[in-house]
Structure 1
Amino acid sequence: MTAGLDAARAEYADLVDRGLSLDLTRGKPSPEQLDLSAPLLSLPGDRHTAADGTDCRNYGGLHGLRELREIFAGPLRVPVDQLVAAGNSSLGLMHDCLVYALLGGLPGATSRWVDQERIAFLCPVPGYDRHFALCERFDIDMVPVPMTDEGPDLDVVARLVADDPSVKGIWCVPKYSNPSGVSYSDRVVRGLGSVAAAAPDFRIFWDNAYAVHHLTDEQVEVADVLAACAEGGHPDRPFVFGSTSKITLAGAGVAFFGSSPANVAWLLGHAAKRTIGPDKVNQLRHALFLRDEAGVRAHMERHRALLRPKFDLVRRVLADRLGDTGLAEWTEPLGGYFVTLTVPDGCAREVVRRAAAAGIVLTPAGATHPRGDDPRDAVIRIAPTYPGLGELEQAITGLATCVRLVGYEKALATA
């Protein structure tokens, strides 16, 4: 082990001397991925009329263009009449749903959330930092729930929601979860739909961000949460969110909301006070560009051709550099945008700090947990999508060096 530490120290000194400047902080599409949607910038040309005759240049149409909703109803598992096409941000829709629930109440609620003493959300961990940031913004308590290889631990969920009416929701990324890559099993989806909750307005915030973002031929399908909740006696429970942000242009896409008819009417009723309608010109160009569900699948195959080599590279480098050390484990996702690296307890923050000192910037350790507090200090989220292969290999090789250095230092200090 001493020899391993000596070698890691020498490798790290060389790494620092190289003066790198590499960034793996966020899961952004690469420029090459964005180039796949370049034709959007010349659409809709001189056309401005939707299939139903709507003049897309004008006000109105809160529900969004039907032809675009028809394209995404299948991938999102939402009937077209219960799917809303909105602005460019699904995160914005989640924000608005929280605000409307806080200030206006929900179907089935006994009062507005803001009038209640405590509001809490269940947060599967490791999870998505922007979900946690929304809770922090609105002073919503966050209750961690462990993730299993099927999704959130149903026994823990059932216990937490059964007796506490202040537990109003749960965050879910059901397919290729951020950051673990886990996809929810049918059992978990059915369980979330049927679990008895003390709060009559308990909601599942179903962030289906990676609905069509496959990395392999094994294309995972997740059960229909709307159907599961209806069968479980709770048709108003799910809020389904999705977007084209990692399909077309990340800053100029279209976001979707799907739910029961009552919830759709609730959302649109509140949204009507906020806006006179979405950007229907952008929705029209997306419908013309993608054409149909088969067009979405073909487009995502082009994304996969760009992304798969990056995830293969991460797997190869981690295996080569860390596979025989006992110092790390990592996920090998079938889709999505992230790899989760787990290092020895008490080491993640120091690994991230050493990497930053060597010019490799990572997502902060702890970002995968509410309020940035990973009690084990062991989880690091790797976002390999944006850099080119050359930069990515340098970054992952350097990260592995930092893991070896910190891991061997801790092992010797506690021996």
Structure 2
Amino acid sequence: MTSNEELTAQRDRARQDYEALVARGLKLDLTRGKPSPDQLDLAQGLLELQGPLTAADGTDLRNYGGLHGLPELREIFSDALQVPVEQLLAAGNSSLELMHDAVVFALLSTLPGGERRWVEEPEIAFLCPVPGYDRHYGICERYGITMIPVPMTAEGPDMDVVERLVAENPAVKGIWCVPKYSNPDGVVYSDETVRRLAAMETAAPDFRIFWDNAYAVHHLAEEPAEIADVLALAAEHGHADRVFVFGSTSKITFAGAGVAFFGSSPANVTWWLSHTVKRSIGPDKINQLRHVRFLKDADGLREHMARHAAVIRPKFDVVDKILTAELGDTGLASWTRPAGGYFISLTVPEGCAREVVAKAKAAGIALTPAGATHPYGDEPADRTIRIAPTYPDPAELETAITGLATCVRLVALDKLLNA
């Protein structure tokens, strides 16, 4: 066991390291999972569109119409998103926008299988696996939807908790899921978790799974992770309308000029289009055509994502290498080693995350706010820090992670000594 004298000496060294860090006057940003300029350069060919502006069937794409989106593009992404082409829609540039619209449409109109509009319910609640994605929580907060945290496990949400909550409370209308390389833990849902989500009985007849498959093709390991087909399983268990699937090319091509996808049952697609037609006469089909000609087919998509992995995999390796060197044998922290996605989750001693983030900010290293991975920005245990390593160049990333490790050592050792 480490003595107080040894801990004090370690804390004093950490304090000296931190003072030197602050003196460097850094200005580094690890707040959001953005593609780096090198990744964006991979899609530069999008801007070199050649040939007639027509679809494969001869449709003039310069004109109105085509709410379903280009069939050729839906074909490219059908397997990756596990949605039949005829049940997959290609829309604007943002899947977050589609998730927002799905909530608003459900608030204002009755879902297939529902008894009334959500806005007419005395309460609406969503299950939120934690740690999770802060922008999901933002949609719920905007519309007064109660958020109920559910613990994440190594196989996905704790299904014993999920099954109990959806069975006993008709106010629970949905659950947020990032099933592959989840944000921020990098968890891949097991086949059993997906099956239980699809098969479980719910008190709300219009319960929906918001299946945000944002990282469906964002692999880092040589062997891509696979997940069970939730749409097929839901239909198999008599709940064909249960799942809304979302995805996008935001981290595949250009983050602000990509294509978003919505997939679901035929009944849900009809419901969706009946509302979308009131707000749009059709998506940007020229941009969709760019994506078709750039990616070409599903194999072209896989090859393009391999180039992405070649750019960002070394950055994930840098984070793991530095955290191992700085914190690996200290017992002061643990972190994930994801096989894909965009984030690494760093776990520090209870009650330390906010202080670590504050110390890092004071040293010029911006991180996602502590608590952002939980509903209402409140993680009671105050332990989780999300690291977004993709955007900085390697030298900046190395500096930032080394500095973050210094902050962890200082805060955690202070807490140990004051316990």
TM surpasses 0.5 = yes
Are 2:98 and 1:98 equivalent residues in the alignment?
A: no
Tell me, in whole angstroms, the C-alpha distance in 2 between the residues paired with 1:191 and 1:54: 43
Structure 1 counterpart of 2:366: 361
**Which ranges in structure 2 are unaligned for 5 or more consecutive residues?**
1-6
Structure 2 counterpart of 1:322: 327
In the TM superposition, 1:3-402 aligns within 5 A as 3-43=9-49, 45-402=50-407
Residues 91-110 of structure 1, C-alpha deviations (whole Å, 9 max, x = no match):
00000000000001210110
Q: Give the Å deviation of 1:42.
A: 1.9
Moved segments of 4+, more than 6 Å: none
Q: TM-score, normalised by structure 1?
A: 0.99
The answer to whether the 8 A contact 1:333-1:339 is kept is yes
Please tell me the residue identity of whatever aligns with 1:16. Answer: V
Q: Give the Å deviation of 1:46.
A: 4.5
Please tell me the residue identity of whatever aligns with 2:77. Answer: F
Tell me, in whole angstroms, the C-alpha distance in 1 between the residues paired with 2:268 and 2:73: 20
Please tell me the residue identity of whatever aligns with 1:25. Answer: T
Per mean C-alpha deviation after superposition, the further-off stretch among 23-32 and 51-60 is 51-60
The answer to whether the 8 A contact 1:65-1:284 is kept is yes
Secondary structure, counterpart of 1:221 in structure 2: coil
Tell me, in whole angstroms, the C-alpha distance in 2 between the residues paired with 1:97 and 1:319: 42
Q: Give the Å deviation of 1:228.
A: 1.1
Q: Give the Å deviation of 1:163.
A: 1.5
The answer to whether the 8 A contact 1:214-1:304 is kept is yes
Residues 152-200 of structure 1, C-alpha deviations (whole Å, 9 max, x = no match):
0110000000021110000000000000000000000000000000000
Cα RMSD of the aligned pairs, angstroms, is: 0.5
Please tell me the residue identity of whatever aligns with 2:100. Answer: H
Residues 194-234 of structure 1, C-alpha deviations (whole Å, 9 max, x = no match):
00000000000000000000001121001101011111210
Q: TM-score, normalised by structure 2?
A: 0.98
Please tell me the residue identity of whatever aligns with 1:98. Answer: V
Residues 126-171 of structure 1, C-alpha deviations (whole Å, 9 max, x = no match):
0000000000011000000000000001100000000211100000
**Which ranges in structure 1 are unaligned for 5 or more consecutive residues?**
none
Secondary structure, counterpart of 1:366 in structure 2: coil
Tell me, in whole angstroms, the C-alpha distance in 1 between the residues paired with 2:25 and 2:327: 23
Per mean C-alpha deviation after superposition, the further-off stretch among 389-398 and 210-219 is 210-219
Tell me, in whole angstroms, the C-alpha distance in 1 between the residues paired with 2:217 and 2:51: 30
Tell me, in whole angstroms, the C-alpha distance in 2 between the residues paired with 1:128 and 1:32: 25
> Across the two proteins, how many residue pairs are aligned to each other?
413
